[in-house]
Amino acid sequence: MSGSVMKRLAVAALVTSAAACAPNFEGDMQAWNGHSFSELTYVWGTPKSVEPGINGGERVTYKYDREINGYVIYCRATFDVTPAGYVDQTQYVGNPRGCSNLIKDPDPAVLADAAKTTRRADIPQESFGTIY
């Protein structure tokens, strides 16, 4: 094989392995659909904001942003929660490094006791109706 063919094969292998290792943020976010607000806050912690949402529910937002050596690392994840208290829509925007610091998947082992240990009253009142 010629040197250029070897280089192409090496680049193809590198791109394929990078794609295989890329985080599945979309899948992790969509996996929250159907989970309760209590489970969400148990895993993600206190949201940055809780605003009135669609159809009488709430829009819950988490944010991560840092600047390191002039490079902005950010992610914003939003969850639409039904009036009954369940996530029914998710979205995120950000760069991979920021989102890898923010987005968490709903690990069943972690969620086993979430509904028992986290209550809506546990979220600081100042999170409701504010945007940071």
pLDDT of 29 higher than 90? yes
Helix spans in the chain (H): 3-21, 25-30, 37-44, 96-102, 108-111, 114-117
- Residue 11 located in a structural domain: no
- Residue 7 located in a structural domain: no
Tally of CB atoms within 10 A around 88: 17
Give pLDDT tens digits for 42-79: 999 999 999 999 789 999 999 999 998 999 999 999 99
User: For position 126, what pLDDT does the model report?
Assistant: 53
- Residue 16 located in a structural domain: no
pLDDT of 35 higher than 90? yes
The number of CA neighbours under 13 Å toward the Cβ of 72 is 6
Quickly state the pLDDT bin for 19 (edges 50, 70, 90).
very low
- Residue 38 located in a structural domain: yes
Length of the chain: 132
Range of the domain at 56: 24-127
- Residue 37 located in a structural domain: yes
Q: What is the CATH number of the domain that holds 120?
A: 3.30.1450
Number of folded domains that form the chain: 1
Place of tokens 């890329």: 22
